Every structure is written in structure tokens, then in C-alpha cells.
């Protein structure tokens, strides 16, 4: 198994298990302790897990205390596409030309909303996946279809630095692109699945008036 696949599997296992011990991971993957340590180091640097004594623990998202207040506000809001509550790390905010603000749960829904709203959109802000800080969507780096979908599928994550996007991609796969690439990626996915809109969001309740 390649390192990328092993790390991917480790993260999804940890998401379910909550915590894992070093010996569990060594036995499961049939690799050396050194290899597991390297994987854990790498994943921790990329904020995919937290190392604990003798193993690893899942990161509870959203973890940041400084942003508690804004998160309290966020929990009242629902995604304009799929009605999920947005999380700080994945937030995508669209400002329309008439001044109205629309919030999407993640860049997947944010870009879907862009495609649907077309030239009604004035500007868009998106959270950097690692820091949660908002910055311009047009200047972001997007990872499309990475292995871990934190919200809607196919997953799109945004980063404010190209370097961080590249580091993240090394472990989690996916394609790096700019805003226009993300638009084209989702447009293609939407036409493949459902000409009416995003198939992955379609099962969620939504206002169709």
C-alpha cells in the first residue's frame, strides 16, 4: 500500500474510532512502528489528527477557541444549497450584487451556488481549510476530489497558500486548481449526475419555490 493510501485509510479509520493506539495501527497496516510514526507526524502537521501518548486521536472540528463566538453565530445559519450548518474551516460566503449575503456549508456548495447564481454574485470569501481565516475565493487554491470529504462530495477544500495546498495534496490526493478550475470541476460533476443541480445535495431538504 502506498503512503498516500495508508494515510487516507488511517484518517478515515480514526474518524470512526476516535482514538487509535500505535500497536493497533502497526498490526493493521503491517508496517513498522517507524512508518506509523512518520505517517502520524505528517498527518499531525497537516492537522488531520492529533498525536497522543501511544497513538493518535481524531481532531474534533471545529476546534478553535478564538473563533467560538463566530461559530455560535454560524450554528444558527444553514447552507443555501443543502441546509447543513457551515463550519468555520469550510465556510464559504457569497455577497450578491444587491448586497445580500449567502452562506454555504463548504466550498463544494459555495461553488455550486456560484454556478447557479451566475452574474448575480459580486464577491465571495472562503475559509482557509487549515486556519479558518476568510480570504477571497478568487485568490484561493482549491483541492478538488481529495480523499477525505469533510462535508459535501465531491470534496472541494480551499487554501490561502499554494504551498499549504501542495503539502495537503501530497497526503490526501486530489487536484490543485484555481477558482476557475473549481468552477469547471463542479460544473462537469453536476452535468454528469444531474442537470438540475448538485446530485449530492439533492437529497437534503431545500426550498424549491
CA distance 147 to 112: 20
Instruction: Please say which residue, 105 or 182, places its beta carbon nearer to Zn ion.
Output: 105
Q: Which of 109, 111, 127, 182 is close enough to bind Zn ion by CB under 5 A? A: 109
**Per CB under 5 A, which of residues 67..106 are in contact with Zn ion?**
79, 81-82, 84, 105-106
In whole angstroms, the minimum distance from the beta carbon of 40 to Zn ion comes to 28
Binding segment for Zn ion (CB under 5 A), chosen from 36-44, 93-101, 144-152, 176-184, is 144-152
Report the chain's terminal Cα–Cα distance, integer Å: 49
Q: Which residue in 104, 116, 195 sits closest to 151, CA to CA? A: 104
Among 152, 165, 190, 198, binds Zn ion (CB under 5 A): 152
**Residue 48 touching Zn ion (CB under 5 A):** no
What's the min distance (Å) between Cβ of 87 and Zn ion? 9
Nearer to Zn ion, 65 or 203 (CB): 203
Rounded Cα distance between 141 and 181, Å, is 10
For residue 97, the minimal CB distance to Zn ion (Å) is: 22
Q: Omega before 174 cis (within 30°)?
A: no
Give Dmax over CA atoms of the chain in angstroms: 58
Q: Can you give the length of the chain in residues?
A: 209
Helix, strand, coil abundance in the chain, percent, nearest 5 = 45, 20, 40
In whole angstroms, what separates CA 58 from the centre of its chain?
Answer: 15
How many residues touch Zn ion (CB under 5 A)? 9
Q: Which is nearer to Zn ion, 61 or 84 (CB)?
A: 84
Give the interface with Zn ion as residue ranges (CB under 5 A): 79, 81-82, 84, 105-106, 109, 151-152
Amino acid at each position: 500500500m502506498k503512503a498516500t493510501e495508508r494515510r487516507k485509510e488511517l484518517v478515515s479509520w480514526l474518524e470512526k474510532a476516535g482514538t487509535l493506539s500505535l500497536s493497533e495501527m502497526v498490526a493493521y497496516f503491517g508496517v513498522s512502528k517507524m512508518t506509523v510514526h512518520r505517517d502520524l507526524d505528517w498527518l499531525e502537521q497537516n492537522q488531520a489528527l492529533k498525536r497522543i501518548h501511544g497513538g493518535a486521536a481524531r481532531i474534533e472540528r471545529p476546534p478553535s477557541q478564538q473563533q467560538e463566538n463566530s461559530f455560535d453565530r454560524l450554528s444558527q445559519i444553514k447552507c443555501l444549497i443543502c441546509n447543513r450548518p457551515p463550519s468555520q474551516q469550510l465556510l464559504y460566503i457569497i455577497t450578491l450584487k444587491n448586497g445580500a449575503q449567502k452562506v454555504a456549508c463548504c466550498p463544494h456548495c459555495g461553488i455550486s451556488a456560484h454556478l447557479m447564481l451566475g452574474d448575480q454574485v459580486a464577491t465571495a470569501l472562503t475559509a482557509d481549510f487549515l486556519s479558518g481565516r476568510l480570504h477571497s475565493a478568487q485568490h484561493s487554491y482549491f483541492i478538488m476530489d481529495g480523499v477525505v470529504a469533510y462535508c459535501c462530495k465531491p470534496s472541494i477544500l480551499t487554501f490561502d497558500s499554494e504551498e499549504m495546498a501542495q503539502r495537503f495534496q501530497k497526503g490526501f490526493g486530489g487536484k490543485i486548481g484555481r477558482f476557475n478550475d473549481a468552477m469547471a470541476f463542479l460544473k462537469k460533476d453536476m452535468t454528469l449526475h444531474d442537470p438540475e443541480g448538485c446530485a449530492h445535495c439533492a437529497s437534503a431538504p431545500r426550498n424549491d419555490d
